[in-house]
A and B are shown apart, each in its own frame.
Chain A
Amino acid sequence: MTMKRKLAAWASSGLLAGWSGLASAAYQWNMQTPATRVAEEVYDMHLVMMAIILVIFVGVFAVMFYSVFAHRKSRGHQAAQFHENTTVEIIWTVVPFIILIFMAWPATKVLLSLRDTSNPDITIKVTGYQWKWGYDYLKGEGEGISFLSALATPRDQIQGSAAKGEHYLLEVDHPLVVPVGKKIRILTTANDVIHSWWVPSFGIKQDAIPGYVRDTWFRADRTGTFRGQCAELCGKDHGFMPVVVEVLPADKYSAWVDDQKKKTAAQADDPNKTWTLEELKARGEKVYAANCVACHQASGQGVKGSFPALDGSKMVTGPKAEQIDRVLNGKPGTAMAAFGKQLSDTEIAAVIAYTRNSWGNKTGEAIQPAEVKSQRK
């Protein structure tokens, strides 16, 4: 082959290889594939806007680059001296204005559709916590189901001592489960600071504001697992509280609802049971690992200047009632949440007993769930 042919062959195969590489999920150029009609409308609207922008950008800067080449002093071009023209100013004020009106019309329609939360099939309350989500099914099929959803990616993957899984940072222990094709109304609120519940494939994002309730909605048009993240800086683990929604066919959803109801009944701890210290410590260790370790560390040493140590702390080795109060009600103005809202009496009793009998702490004290219950306001 001639040099020219060889070059052409290389260039086109390079382009093709590059293009197919670009098509992979790794180099994603555009929004995620829509799974709701709203998301599709937003996706299309963005594409149309990009087309208009591209035309204007190329048009204006083609003119400028022509000038850059043709009107150079080094080419001998003499400067004209015109410096105003009212007609032209009016034209390039009015024409952009008209283009904006053409953009505003579809934008208005999509927004109105995005905000219409009326007549939902199922209503679910989403609560943002530092740093996980809580889901409460309020109305519709599944009513009464309630659980927390926290990041499931193991710490060692984050620290780099284990290989990262496919859904690194986008996997949770208990995803939100909804049926396909039904209108789901999502109420958002928060327990502590502002979070934001976002699922890109659904095209929705709604801030979760402590003390206030907002809403949004979606109707998933296909089954599958859809992943999003918290979208408002909420403290150190803002990047570690993903949103995962599993959309099931109607019959599988009903089966899941039944299953959840059975599990909740089975897991409910017997309120009258008296726990031994060993049982409490074993249970408490699990609760600690899921809720406390992020700040107070597995060693109980905390982080100097930010999160207090529990090992040797006055509160943990002093009167029980104070520690029970702190865990139930949190410490306002700090990151110590009111775990009374998230954990059962048994879980709180267990984790307190664990802290009082671990590391260097040897109080020998057990805490019974009834003691925690009596301190709830």
Chain B
Amino acid sequence: MDAAQAHGHARGHAPGGIMRWVTTTNHKDIGTMYLVFSFTMFLVGGFMAFIIRAELFQPGLQIVTPEFFNQMTTLHGLVMVFGAIMPAFVGFANWQIPMMIGAPDMAFPRMNNWSFWLLPPAAALLVISLFVPGGAPGVGWTLYAPLATQMGPGMDLTIFAVHILGMSSIMGSINIITTLLNMRAPGMTMMKLPMFCWTWLITAYLLIAVMPVFAGAVTMILTDRHFGTSFFNAAGGGDPVLYQHIFWFFGHPEVYIIAIPAFGVISQVIPAFSRKPLFGYTSMVYATASIAVLSFIVWAHHMYTVGMPVTGQLYFMYATMLIAVPTGVKVFNWVATMWKGSLSFETPMLFAVGFLLMFTLGGFSGLVLAMTAVDVQVQDTYYVVAHFHYVMVAGALFAAYAGIYFWLPKWTGRMYDETLGKWHFWLTIVFFNVTFFVQHFLGLAGMPRRIPDYALQFAEFNMISSIGAFGLGLTQLLVPYIIIKAVRSGEKAPQRPWEGADTLDWTHLPSPAPYHSFETPPVVK
């Protein structure tokens, strides 16, 4: 954006226009592309949510057929998880990691370009699946067999999209790990690494470990569908539950892949606006690593009702409950960071404090879900839907917004309009709670998930939830307006608009950061 246009590149042969973006190996450009892509997909996924909540506004089938409704639920999940929230945090990783460690770029700049450009074709496959015979698969984002075997060619397109997305994530993770381990400026020991970098280091290992497992699971569905295998077909000697084990072995670490970078952003924002160092840095590193390790051994809490032996249920219940401990440590440490600080509540801090409240609330509903006997009642109901939207939207998305408002001055050299930012925050948090808090009650009262129509006792809360959803969706349209307004006519940002921010990008680089930064590494004391 501004940074790139302003840089008089001495070598002079960098292309302009579209080819600049297609061929760039610059981490800032690539970070920008990830963020623009992710916000576009966020609007696409949001539109699908709009259709879902419009159909659920009242009992009865008014707008879509049940088949199409299932396609919307499936794509909404896939688009939001793989098209919106994950690429958003990769965008942050690209922009911030090199600058925070004093490196000139990522370790593998060309592979970085590939990691991004794989995403638009993958997204296209998902959207195109709507237009092939049979439409997109109506199986839920979890793609369970054997229902997935019954689906039309849209399912195959989805499987290929998953493969491509996995490749992108794996290459990106290799890049991140190599960069963080090898390219830190002299004097930056591992225990001086900013928390945002630590969280991405840990997340990158999770991605490399589990994306291939997801690829394996969907490939087994592909061969069951077309090549005569029976992995998940009992009649052929297979086991439908095997799919669930393989999927959730990926699926549970996946949710931490989403949450842990969000934790990293919060760990940068809260100290900055408390004007106080992060409390318990060492504990935070260990807690994050513990969460990542534990995330591998709890997967079957998504499968409590499949009929596994009670010993299995008990083990997974205990292991899942354990994750509450390091997560609690993190929440306490964030609050302790604020305690006796000198606090100010600009938009990034509002989103960070909102995250603390809402993510913790979501974590508590997760603890309820961990208790097997209770989970038997709420598994596959709106209680689960409420839980994961609290942690992924009011958790990860709020952290992403905190990061955008926090880092926008460094990226663009402009301040955003603080009043508009605050409006965005307050409208979002209110509408979010209107949409999703009542869904806890719907689940407890007995409303299953993934249904286009429901019994009359669920009508009132569904109407409230839908109204909240319409408001929540419309409010997000403020975001591109705020960003474009900042870039075009925002107040020029100083090098360090946030006086408590202390990482290398704030202390050593102007705003906007130059197209090529830290070509000579700084020395860190």
**A residues in contact (CB < 8 Å) with B:** 25-32, 38, 41-42, 45-46, 49-50, 53, 56-57, 60-61, 63-64, 67-68, 71-74, 77-85, 88-89, 92-93, 96-97, 100, 103-104, 107-108, 110-112, 114-115, 157-160, 164, 166-170, 188, 192-194, 196, 198, 200, 203-207, 209-212, 214-215, 227-240, 303, 305-306, 332-335
Contact = CB atoms under 8 A, between A and B. Distances in A.
A194 B275 contact: no
B80 to A, nearest CB: 17
Contact of A203 (B322, B340, B376): B376
Contacts of B333: 89
A168 B455 contact: yes
Given A196-B380, A206-B305, A211-B240, A60 B335 contact: yes
B454 interface: yes
Nearest to B447: A229
A305 B135 contact: yes
Contact of A72 (B150, B342, B360): B342
Nearest to B500: A79
A193 B232 CA distance: 10
A200 B446 contact: yes
Contacts of A28: 441, 444-445, 457
A367 B500 CA distance: 84
A239 B441 contact: no
B442 to A, nearest CB: 9
Interface stretch (B81-89, B98-106, B138-146, B201-209): B138-146
Interface of B: 59-62, 65-67, 70, 133-135, 138-140, 144, 146-147, 149-150, 152, 225, 233-235, 239-241, 274-283, 305-307, 310, 313-314, 317-318, 321-322, 324-326, 328-329, 331-333, 335-345, 353, 356-357, 360-361, 364, 367-368, 371-374, 376-377, 379-381, 441, 444-446, 448-457, 459-461, 500
B interface SS class: helix
A84 B278 CA distance: 9
Given A31-B446, A68-B353, A104-B317, 20 more contacts: A26-B459, A26-B460, A42-B374, A46-B444, A64-B335, A64-B356, A78-B342, A83-B278, A83-B281, A85-B279, A85-B280, A107-B317, A107-B374, A192-B150, A194-B240, A198-B380, A206-B307, A231-B379, A236-B65, A236-B66
Contact of A169 (B134, B239, B325, B453): B453
A240 B456 CA distance: 14
B344 A239 contact: no
30 contacts: A28-B457, A31-B446, A42-B376, A46-B374, A61-B357, A64-B335, A67-B341, A72-B342, A72-B344, A73-B344, A77-B341, A79-B341, A83-B280, A83-B337, A88-B336, A92-B328, A100-B321, A103-B321, A107-B373, A111-B310, A111-B372, A167-B455, A193-B240, A205-B376, A207-B307, A209-B307, A212-B241, A212-B307, A214-B307, A237-B66
Contacts of B65: 236
Nearest to B238: A211
B306 A231 contact: no
Contacts of B133: 305-306
A115 B280 CA distance: 43
A342 to B, nearest CB: 17
A interface SS class: mixed
